Amino acid sequence: MKMDIVGVEDVHILDPNLLQLPCLSPSPLNSSSYIADELFSHWLSLPETATLVKCLIDEAKSGTPTNLSKSYATVFLSNGTPPLSPRSSPGSPRFSRHRASPPSLRSPLRSVKEPKHELIPQFYFLHGRPPAKELKEQCISMVDHFFSNFIDGLHVDEFKSVTKEVCKLPSFLSPALFRKMDSDCSGVVTRDAFIKYWIDGNMLTMDTASQIYNILKQQDCKHLRQADFKPLLDELLATHPGLQFLRTTSEFQERYAETVIYRIFYYINRSGTGCLTLRELKRGNLIAAMQQLDEEDDINKIIRYFSYEHFYVIYCRFWELDGDHDCYIDKDNLIKYGNHALTYRIVDRIFSQAPRKFTSKVEGKMSYEDFVYFILAEEDKSSEPSLEYWFKCIDLDGNGVITPNEIQFFFEEQLHRMESITQEPVHFNDILCQIIDMIKPEEENCITLQDLKGSKLSGNVFNILFNLNKFMAFETRDPFLIRQEREDPSLTEWDRFAQREYVRLSMEEDVEEVANGSADEPLEPPF
């Protein structure tokens, strides 16, 4: 069989893969070569084949890129017959149209580029995030400025300016920070020691709460204890102008420091373990109060934790109840609190240590720390620590709910006391309905701690059950108390109570001074 093909001498330069042979499985080809020969002969006999081959040769000679699919379509579509499926073609949609080299017989799936893995930047650093280059250079520049005149290092009294200006921390933290950097107790902090602790230790990039937490806590300890705050309070008492009058009375200084620490742990250590975590420190308002101390000379204007007037009220109340002044209070002492405002049943629950385990080592007696927790809970029943304190007292069986039976148990004594002072008694069913209306619990026959925290009237519920004086004041809607609340709504119940009590105690002190003929002498706390 002959073919009239021009340029047949150039056929040898063709790639065999360019021949448009029908796609057959290799199995029949291996079994019978006769079938393959017949098919190839039939393809060569077609008139379109000669035209196609001539076109390909011309394109190869001219050096133009061979567009096989276009040539193939031009030749065969004119015949009206669909072309055979090409074995391989650079123009095939199965291959990248940008591929210039001869098509490969490999699977077209392999030509798909694998997706690039996105690099996720590190977001957790065990020892804190390292400072950025610019921030680090800026800090080092400030450090060089402060240490330029102190080549041998700074002493503790010279270090305060570095604490305030470079570290941006309250000045009374300076001794504690100094001791952290002076690890070998040499008495000086050098430039290199400061950079090692503050910059290389990644303290520079921490938030203020984390910085203070790491400065105060002991090494390898995961929480703060009460003793960790003692150096801070010692420095505050020694340097703050609002506490200067206490510098000659070490006993009063110690009591003030203890009271501040107890108040901090009452409000912030919500777990009640005596171990203050970083999470608790961040959630509280202690850091904001600390930052005020450098800005305000009047310590009494910092009502959160540090007010001397608040300490004065707490300690005077304790001193009044502690008849033998052994620094302990028993049941008979506590029942006198608030002019016998509390019931015997609630006092019994307090001394059963239901709301809080006593720190007192003397059985049946309450220490000063225990009293601080009690008075803060009693005089501000709107705070969450107070609600938790009194909820544990009323929840007799400890099942997490207050039932009508438990409410009745405590109200019975209140009802008896009302009758004894010729007050018109209130029936229990009316009281129960009033409490349910005030709290609006999710379940009508039981009140949970969450129900109490969701109501603004929860404190009045506890007053109804065991504080007769406050219950009567609530029933009569004392206009004096209402006016006080409207004058400054930012003050808490504790703030208003401390304000009233301090005025009362001051007036009593003035009267005693006049009676003793020593009104011109300076006033001192009655400790």
Q: Which CATH superfamily is domain 308-508 in?
A: EF-hand (1.10.238.10)
The pLDDT tens digits for 214-266 are: 999 998 898 999 999 999 999 999 999 999 999 888 889 999 999 999 999 99
Q: Flag the least confident range among 109-113, 228-232, 499-503.
A: 109-113
Q: Token pair for residue 169?
A: 């921390």
Give the long-range contacts of residues 445-448, CB within 8 A, separation 24 or more. Answer: 445/403, 445/404, 446/401, 446/402, 446/403, 447/401, 447/402, 448/400, 448/401, 448/402
Q: Token pair for residue 125?
A: 């650093």
Query: Residue 34's pLDDT is what?
Result: 72
- pLDDT band of residue 527 (cuts 50, 70, 90) is very low
How far is it, in rounded angstroms, from Cα 391 to Cα 402?
Answer: 8
Segment 293-306 shows an average pLDDT of 93
Query: Residue 476's pLDDT is what?
Result: 79
Please tell me the number of Cα atoms within 13 Å of 261 on its side-chain side: 24
How far is it, in rounded angstroms, from Cα 189 to Cα 175?
Answer: 11
Query: Residue 169's pLDDT is what?
Result: 93
Query: Residue 358's pLDDT is what?
Result: 95
- pLDDT band of residue 23 (cuts 50, 70, 90) is low
Query: Residue 66's pLDDT is what?
Result: 58
Q: Between 493-515 and 368-379, two packed helices, what is the crossing angle to 10 degrees?
A: 120
115 dihedral zone (left: phi>0; alpha: psi -120 to 50; beta): beta
* The CATH number, out of the four listed (1.10.238.220, 3.40.50.300, 3.40.190.10, 3.40.1180.10), of the domain defined by the range 219-306: 1.10.238.220
Mean pLDDT, the chain, as a whole number?
Answer: 82
Evaluate whether 11 touches 53 at the Cβ level (below 8 Å). yes
How far is it, in rounded angstroms, from Cα 25 to Cα 23?
Answer: 7
Closest CA to 59 of 93, 18, 87: 18
Per DSSP, the residues of 380-432 read -TTSHHHHHHHHHHH-TT-SSEE-HHHHHHHHHHHHHHHHHTTPPP--HHHHH
Query: Residue 114's pLDDT is what?
Result: 65
Residue 402 sits at φ, ψ, to 5 deg, of -105, 120
pLDDT of residue 152 exceeding 90, the answer is: no
Segment 439-452 shows an average pLDDT of 91
Q: Which H or E element spans position 253? A: helix 250-268
Evaluate whether 318 touches 368 at the Cβ level (below 8 Å). yes
In terms of Cβ atoms closer than 10 Å to its own Cβ (0-12, 13-18, 19+), residue 387 is: buried
Give the CATH number of domain 126-206.
1.10.238.10
In this structure, which amino acid lies at residue 331? K
Cα torsion 198, 203, 209, 212 to 10°: value is: -30
Query: Residue 306's pLDDT is what?
Result: 96
Q: What is the 3-state secondary structure (H, E, C) of 424-451?
A: CCCCHHHHHHHHHHHHCCCECCEEEHHH
Which residues, other chains included, contact 189 with Cβ-Cβ below 8 Å and sequence gap of 6+? 153, 154, 159, 178, 181, 182
Residue in the block written with tokens 């984390």: 210
How far is it, in rounded angstroms, from Cα 215 to Cα 377?
Answer: 30
Query: Residue 433's pLDDT is what?
Result: 93
What are 189's strand-pairing partners?
154
Q: Flag the least confident range among 67-81, 154-168, 324-338, 404-418.
A: 67-81
Please tell me the number of Cα atoms within 13 Å of 516 on its side-chain side: 11
How far is it, in rounded angstroms, from Cα 183 to Cα 4?
Answer: 101
pTM: 0.73
Residue 511 sits at φ, ψ, to 5 deg, of -65, -45
How far is it, in rounded angstroms, from Cα 256 to Cα 245?
Answer: 12
Query: Residue 477's pLDDT is what?
Result: 73
Percentage, residues of the chain above pLDDT 90: 50
- pLDDT band of residue 387 (cuts 50, 70, 90) is very high
Q: Helix, strand, or coil here: 467? A: strand
How far is it, in rounded angstroms, from Cα 135 to Cα 147?
Answer: 18
The dihedral through the CA atoms of 329, 335, 341, 344 has a sign that is positive
Query: Residue 57's pLDDT is what?
Result: 81
Q: What are the domain boundaries of the chain?
A: 126-206, 219-306, 308-508
188 dihedral zone (left: phi>0; alpha: psi -120 to 50; beta): beta
Query: Residue 366's pLDDT is what?
Result: 95
How far is it, in rounded angstroms, from Cα 57 to Cα 10?
Answer: 7
Q: Which H or E element spans position 235? A: helix 230-239
Same fold, 126-206 and 219-306: yes
What are 443's strand-pairing partners?
446
State in Å, rounded, how far the first CA of the chain is from the last one: 130
Evaluate whether 195 touches 155 at the Cβ level (below 8 Å). no
